[in-house]
A and B are shown apart, each in its own frame.
Chain A
Amino acid sequence: MSEQHIKLPEGSIEKTTTTLNLGPTHPATHGVMQNILELDGERIVSADQTIGYIHRAFEKLAERRPLAQITTLTDRLNYCSAPLNNMGWHMTCEKLLGVQTPKRVDYLRVIMMELARIADHLICNSIMGVDAGAYTGFLYVMQFRELIYEIYEEVCGARLTTNMGRIGGFERNFTDKAFQKLEKFLAEYPRALKEFENMFQRNRIFMDRTMGVGGISAARALNYGFTGPNLRAAGVDYDVRVQNPYASYQDFNFIIPVGSTGDCYDRWLVREQEMWQSLSILEQAYQKIQAFKGAEAEVYHADTPAYYLPEKKDVYTKMEALIYHFKIIMGETEIPVGEVYHSIEAGNGELGFYLISDGGRSPYRLHFRRPCFIYYQAYEELVKGSMLSDAIMTMSSLNLIAGEMDA
């Protein structure tokens, strides 16, 4: 190659730092995202994040879809805990429509949401192990996520993109088999979680890799709009389940674990403790469900025929169900004009839905407050001055889900 073909960018000879393209498809990035790191030796001088590789324009799509069809879009936000997104969306619609759900529906929702939270935290924490070089824990706990997915399957028929529930409740009552699977999970999981914890919590290598890495102060975390385990690891006890209870979370006893330094290790610990709390909430919710007797024990949706999609067999045999089915599907139901913001505590923070309705069958505007989109912008501040290997660790400890970030 002759000299004239080599075109070096301006100033590249004098440059003393190295530019490293981390991603977009690097196994350690857990999703399609790119980081352009400027390195001085192995130390990070600056980081420039590029996102949007799997942007699917959900907010635009939602402007042409009736409310019930938007649930499938929310599945694909944080796909590690799709039921959480589904329930959050249904509750937003219920707020707009003024639908009150019965207690049993709330408790059933709490069961699904807490299972999803465990699945979400489990992935994040075990993936952190993988990035620190411990693959075993990840493979071991996967079989317990499988148990959760089997419960999803029993409840809604799907495993990953669940499209679970309807506005007003669930599409069908939980089967006995679903509760048996829940019992099996509650019986088997604590032992495995303890084992998983033993493997990492006081592990010298894991501690060295995570302690003091990617830390952030409470003030900076709040300024950056951190929510969820990442904010709590920095020492702020903000949890939407407690601050603005939804789905009857006020009926449950649980603790909000907080960290102090906001580093990767604290984030890991907070998630770990939250899984124990979720287990306790699951037990409480299951007890509450069992306490319903007679007709109350059969309730699985609110009595709002104008918004709740009737069961298919009723549509074929009953006049009223057929009418309501037709009205809901064709967008003939009365939808109030107004604006609502509703948020839930999702796996990685406050997942908010800002819904503007002009009375039409689909939203005038729908905006998702995606927690990881908001806190990923702090990444540069978190990794500046640390080593390249710390950048990987920080990234996986933040629980970034590309699907949610790019919407």
Chain B
Amino acid sequence: MALTTLNIQQRIQEKFGESVSAVVDSYGLLEITAPRELNLKVLNFLYDDAALQFQFLTDLTGVHYPSQKGSELAVVYHLHSLKENVRIRFKIFAPIEQPEVYTATGLFSAANWMERETYDFFGILFVGHPNLKRILNVDEMDYFPLRKEFPLEDQTRIDKDDEMFGRGGTIK
């Protein structure tokens, strides 16, 4: 029997009840949202369940929503069940003051560098990661550049005239 989003929703409802939500987004992809401390439980369930078998981690990244107080940082996993050829998106949110989530490296070797990249750009701390250090940026960097509070231009530079380069303007 082919795996449908309805099946997945039911399986998740049965297993986790109300704490984990699974809704279909406007482009037809099932989006699962869970409390951050449940991320490994959900990932493990999706991985092991005989009917689901989401065993391929396509992508892992972070997003910063400064206006969502208490859940500013999101970690987004894209999973693929190759057997059934179904993709899903899995999201967890963490507060920016304590951005700690469990690492998925135990389940997916691929998560290693993806989590390092997410840490590098968003400062999300993956608890239990074997080697959580910066990967694309220099080690000396003391901020997380993809967070929204950092505008595109380097604010420490004084050799450029703001007005000429559109900094601090109102262009959205």
Which A residues have a C-beta under 8 Å from some C-beta of B? 51-52, 55, 57, 59-61, 63-64, 95-96, 220, 222-225, 236, 238, 243-244, 331, 336, 338-341, 343, 350, 352, 354, 356, 360-361, 364-365, 367, 369, 373-374, 376-378, 406-407
Q: How far apart sit A238 and B85, CA to CA, in the bound complex (Å)?
A: 10
Across the interface, do A369 and B58 meet the contact criterion of CB distance under 8 Å?
yes
Q: Does B102 contact A (CB under 8 A)?
A: no
Q: A59-B146, A367-B59, A377-B110 are in contact. List 16 more A-B contacts (CB 8 A).
A: A55-B137, A64-B152, A96-B27, A220-B109, A222-B56, A222-B82, A223-B109, A225-B57, A238-B82, A244-B85, A339-B25, A341-B78, A341-B87, A352-B58, A354-B59, A367-B61
Chain A residues closer than 8 Å to B29, beta-carbon distance: 341
Q: How far apart sit A367 and B89, CA to CA, in the bound complex (Å)?
A: 14
Nearest residue (CB) in B for A405 is B136
Q: Does B108 contact A (CB under 8 A)?
A: yes
Q: How far apart sit A96 and B64, CA to CA, in the bound complex (Å)?
A: 20
Given A95-B27, A225-B110, A341-B29, CB of A52 within 8 Å of CB of B137: yes
Given A222-B55, A407-B136, CB of A354 within 8 Å of CB of B61: yes
Chain B residues closer than 8 Å to A64, beta-carbon distance: 152
Q: Does B113 contact A (CB under 8 A)?
A: yes
- Chain B stretch 46-62: residues in CB contact (< 8 A) with chain A: 55-59, 61
Which of A350, A365, A378 is in CB contact (< 8 Å) with B58? A350
Given A369-B58, A369-B59, CB of A60 within 8 Å of CB of B114: no
Nearest residue (CB) in B for A336 is B26
A163 shortest CB reach to chain B, Å: 21
Given A244-B85, A341-B89, CB of A60 within 8 Å of CB of B27: no
Q: Does B95 contact A (CB under 8 A)?
A: no
B61 shortest CB reach to chain A, Å: 4
Q: Does B43 contact A (CB under 8 A)?
A: no
Nearest residue (CB) in B for A362 is B172
Nearest residue (CB) in A for B151 is A64
Which B residues have a C-beta under 8 Å from some C-beta of A? 25-27, 29, 31, 55-59, 61, 63-64, 76, 78, 82, 85, 87, 89, 108-110, 112-114, 117, 121, 135-137, 145-146, 150, 152, 172
User: Lowest 5 A-B CB distances belong to which pairs?
Assistant: A225-B110, A52-B136, A55-B136, A367-B61, A369-B59
Q: How far apart sit A218 and B145, CA to CA, in the bound complex (Å)?
A: 36
Given A61-B152, A377-B109, CB of A225 within 8 Å of CB of B58: yes
Across the interface, do A374 and B113 meet the contact criterion of CB distance under 8 Å?
yes
Across the interface, do B152 and A60 meet the contact criterion of CB distance under 8 Å?
yes
Q: How far apart sit A57 and B151, CA to CA, in the bound complex (Å)?
A: 12
Q: How far apart sit A52 and B108, CA to CA, in the bound complex (Å)?
A: 22
Q: How far apart sit A286 and B148, CA to CA, in the bound complex (Å)?
A: 46
Q: How far apart sit A356 and B85, CA to CA, in the bound complex (Å)?
A: 23
Chain B residues closer than 8 Å to A339, beta-carbon distance: 25, 27, 31, 89
Q: How far apart sit A55 and B137, CA to CA, in the bound complex (Å)?
A: 7
Across the interface, do A52 and B152 meet the contact criterion of CB distance under 8 Å?
no
Across the interface, do A60 and B146 meet the contact criterion of CB distance under 8 Å?
yes
Nearest residue (CB) in A for B56 is A222
Given A57-B145, A341-B87, A360-B172, CB of A352 within 8 Å of CB of B59: yes
B136 shortest CB reach to chain A, Å: 4
Chain A residues closer than 8 Å to B55, beta-carbon distance: 222
Q: How far apart sit A331 and B170, CA to CA, in the bound complex (Å)?
A: 14
Nearest residue (CB) in A for B55 is A222
Chain A residues closer than 8 Å to B113, beta-carbon distance: 373-374, 376-377
Instruction: Name 29 A/B residue pairs within 8 A (Cβ), A-sorted.
Output: A51-B136, A52-B137, A57-B145, A60-B146, A63-B152, A96-B27, A220-B109, A222-B55, A222-B56, A222-B82, A223-B109, A224-B110, A225-B56, A225-B108, A225-B110, A225-B114, A336-B26, A338-B26, A340-B27, A341-B78, A341-B89, A360-B172, A361-B172, A365-B64, A369-B59, A369-B78, A373-B113, A377-B113, A406-B136
Q: How far apart sit A373 and B87, CA to CA, in the bound complex (Å)?
A: 21
Chain A residues closer than 8 Å to B112, beta-carbon distance: 377
Chain B residues closer than 8 Å to A331, beta-carbon distance: 172
Chain A residues closer than 8 Å to B121, beta-carbon distance: 59
Nearest residue (CB) in A for B107 is A223
